Structure 1
Amino acid sequence: MLSYQADEPRNPASTMKVLTTWSALKVLGPSWSWNTEAWLRGELEGDVLQGDLVLKGYGDPFLVDETFWQFVRALRTKGIREITGDIIIDGSFFDVPEVDRAAFDNQPTRVYNAQPSALMVNFQSTRFVLSPEVGLDSVKVVVQPPLNELVLDNQLQLVKGRCRREHAKPVILPQKDNRILIKGKFADGCGQRELQRLISFSPGRHAFDAFKSVWNSQGGHLGGGFQAGQVRASDRRFHIHTSRALAEQVRLINKWSNNVMTRQVMLSLGAKQYGAPGTLEKGRLAVMDVLEEQGIPTQGILIENGSGLSRDSRISAAQLGMLLQKIWHDPYMPEMLSSLPLLGQDGTLARRFRKTEQAGRSRLKTGTLNRVTAIAGYMLTRSGKRMVIVMQHNGRRAGSAGRGLQNKVLEWVFEQ
């Protein structure tokens, strides 16, 4: 119906997640799940493990606090009370190079910059719970998991009044002297608020800190500390936790545009197709294989990490539009379609076209970066026609003019 420079490869931002999540559904299947395992290295004498406990991950993208609590609780329920040795974290299922988390946008503590890990607990984020203590004229800060080797330097200032935006988002900065500085103004009208930030630079150490915190809270005793290592042939598998199914996780990814979950999925896809460990290159190849099998021309497509959090990723609107048409006629279409944000109702589109006739009639993946805005998906028009829509804007005015133009085009297409 309408096309303008559709063959020009552009930065797609998070609409790149359509490629990654669709490829995973096609190769792994909607019911695919991830295991997280606990292995014993030593003898279990009564309720005491005389040795080490090895935790091995296989890339579960959604091993959040509540799920990890259940995993640890299962160890207590199955009879372990005390571990005399260390907790060994095995993240060998992925082989991902270390990167500078500040390299992308100089925001190393923001959760969207989390790096993937085969054993990733709660997106590697540390939770800061802030509560006003009016009688003490201070702000209480509770950190989870606890900062075992770091000191919290709480310089928050409690102010009276309504909870304005600038009062609810204090600055949290890791310091070189093992301090975590938290500063700014926090209004008593804000009540209890929660922030999540990346504090630990070691995914393994973060997983250990989370384990130790939950273990201690459940009455367990740990005699040793943290080690990075791998499962040995002589170790005995003690417990397996199975994740949510891929289809459920794809819905979480695309509705809320979760970057690190997408990266976990692409690495898992690479490991499935080309063998462990999962690497970026294997993941990229696996996604490109799916596109070629679907008959999508791949010339000009550039995949960096699969999430779209990249300055270098490229795909044309025509290529993405062709993929969306292929998806529509695929048996797994319902799983993919239900993962896309519903215009005016949920996910990253909850506030767009609210309380209009268009609300609920489009499922579209959004993408936003500095100088990039994009949207891709499906619309049911007023007359009942199904439309595939892909719009990409790159450049200095992409954020302001680009989104406005998108809205105008969406309004026009809806009337067709």
Structure 2
Amino acid sequence: MPVHFSQQTALARRWARPRYRLAGLLFSGLGTIGLHACTSPAVQPISQSLGWEQSAFFQPPPEPDPAVVEVVERYLQTLRSRGIAPNGQGIVFQAGLSRLAMHQAQQPRSAASITKVATTVAAVEKWGLAHRFITTFYTTGTVVNGVLQGDLVIQGTGNPFFVWEEAIAVGNALTDQGITQIAGDLVIVGPFFMNYKTDGTVAGQLLRVALDSLQWPREAQMQYAELPPETPKPQVTVQGTVRVEAAVPSQATPLFRHESVNLANILKQMNIYSNNVMAQVLAESAGGADAVAQLAAQVAGVPPEEIQLINGSGLGVENRISPRASVAMLIALDQRLAAQNASITDVLPVAGRDRGGTLKDRNFPPQTLLKTGTLNGVSALAGIVPTRDRGWVWFAILNGGGDILQFRRQQDALLQAVTGVLGTGTLLDGQGGIPDEPLGDAGRILP
């Protein structure tokens, strides 16, 4: 796999965590010992090996790792005994620069929602974690006795996470502006989405309902119940219709703008729940499936043929990624996030911390970071399992041609077996730190 020098540095850092950090301290101490030895009259010839050089502790760990190889071989044998062909599976386990075990590592396979890792890489590369999507609200008339004598214009820029709570905050902001009724229409301009509906008219109709609490369906009421107790219930009615226009009317006056939660929060929610609409919206905003695949391969340092995408969500067996590329994308993503004072744990789910979404009812080792993927006959898993002996072990397991539930059980057992031979480590100690931002926060509505 082509690995850039900067990636090698990051990989070496991962290899050093946590066991091998001690090695650096020991080498530092040995340097002091050597300095003292040079002042002594009894100096050993430089060609003579020192005792510590023969110590097993200072020998590089084996590649591949026999214990991990044996675990993977047993896993494949178990699948074979259940009628699942080993040649339909792709596996990589890697610690830093060391490949612990591989099986058909370079063969692109149906990756399902591992595709969202590529979308995550592309989004981080294009915008950065601090990015916020702006939705601007305009009026085309004056407000008289609480009635806007004109239209409310909504100009979107592709926020994939504008949901009930955010719309309720907008309704309260309209109330604060003295607007309780809109005599005209809701006019949608640009990519405005709501509740994962990407049709502008449908999204506008949902916003119309959200602005008036007397029209709220049960789902909106349930989401409101999660907001702070003092949150008002807006009652802004729209007399006109919802229509989509190509541009903001020239006579429109800006009222306020709404900022999304930051991109880190968006990506985290997208990956925890494996939300296909959010992923596709982000991929399209980043240039489309081909652009995402090309950028992900470039960042990961793998041949472009190992990342083949038809969309950004993973829906469709034509989305094909090799296990090697899956691991390389994760390593490169962590490196990119470190440059933003963040961690891969800020954008991907972690077992034990994130209990909902696709992690529900799984039996992963503690603090395993991962992305799941599922299609008919396809089950995929990629992430990091923290170990005692080899630090962070990056992995990808791409299964095909069998029962989904059987694949999931065997994947969980495989990861447990790896920690059984390498020991259990820590992932979250000092990692991450980008806080979750509450939905419906009025502080993100600005003049």
Q: How does 1:226-375 map to 2 (within 5 A)?
A: 226-230=242-246, 231-270=248-287, 280=288, 284-330=290-336, 331=338, 332=340, 334-345=342-353, 346-347=355-356, 348-353=358-363, 358-360=365-367, 362-375=368-381
Alignment partner, residue 194 of structure 2: 121
Q: Which has the higher helix share?
A: 2
Aligned residue for 2:142, secondary structure, equals: strand
Q: Which has the higher strand share?
A: 1
Unaligned runs of 5+ in 2: 1-99, 215-233, 423-447
Unaligned runs of 5+ in 1: 93-117, 125-200, 271-279
Aligned residue for 2:327, secondary structure, equals: helix
Q: Give the TM-score normalised by structure 2.
A: 0.62
| In structure 1, C-alpha distance between the alignment counterparts of 2:352 and 2:206, rounded to whole Å | 39
Aligned residue for 2:321, secondary structure, equals: coil
Q: How does 1:10-409 map to 2 (within 5 A)?
A: 10-45=109-144, 47-90=146-189, 92=190, 118-124=191-197, 202-215=199-212, 217=214, 218-230=234-246, 231-270=248-287, 280=288, 284-330=290-336, 331=338, 332=340, 334-345=342-353, 346-347=355-356, 348-353=358-363, 358-360=365-367, 362-383=368-389, 385-395=391-401, 397-409=402-414
Count, aligned residues? 298
Question: What is the CA distance between 1:27 and its match in structure 2?
Answer: 2.0
| In structure 1, C-alpha distance between the alignment counterparts of 2:181 and 2:408, rounded to whole Å | 56
Question: What is the CA distance between 1:15 and its match in structure 2?
Answer: 1.1
Is the 1:342–1:350 contact (alpha carbons within 8 Å) kept by the matching residues of 2?
Answer: no
For 2:384, the aligned partner's letter is Y
Inter-CA distance 203–370: structure 2 relative to 1 (3 Å threshold): farther
Inter-CA distance 28–287: structure 2 relative to 1 (3 Å threshold): farther
For 1:408, the aligned partner's letter is A
| In structure 1, C-alpha distance between the alignment counterparts of 2:145 and 2:201, rounded to whole Å | 29
| In structure 1, C-alpha distance between the alignment counterparts of 2:408 and 2:346, rounded to whole Å | 23
| In structure 1, C-alpha distance between the alignment counterparts of 2:181 and 2:352, rounded to whole Å | 51
Question: What is the CA distance between 1:305 and its match in structure 2?
Answer: 1.9
Q: 1:369-390: CA deviations, max 9, x gaps?
A: 1111000011112435221110
| In structure 2, C-alpha distance between the alignment counterparts of 1:211 and 1:398, rounded to whole Å | 44
Inter-CA distance 391–213: structure 2 relative to 1 (3 Å threshold): closer
Is the 2:334–2:343 contact (alpha carbons within 8 Å) kept by the matching residues of 1?
Answer: no
Is the 1:39–1:235 contact (alpha carbons within 8 Å) kept by the matching residues of 2?
Answer: yes
Question: What is the CA distance between 1:351 and its match in structure 2?
Answer: 2.7
Q: 1:219-249: CA deviations, max 9, x gaps?
A: 4343211212131233222110111000011
| In structure 2, C-alpha distance between the alignment counterparts of 1:309 and 1:333, rounded to whole Å | 32
For 2:377, the aligned partner's letter is R
Is the 2:135–2:259 contact (alpha carbons within 8 Å) kept by the matching residues of 1?
Answer: yes
Inter-CA distance 213–324: structure 2 relative to 1 (3 Å threshold): closer
State the superposition RMSD in angstroms. Answer: 2.3
Report runs of 4+ in structure 1 exceeding 4 Å deviation.
none
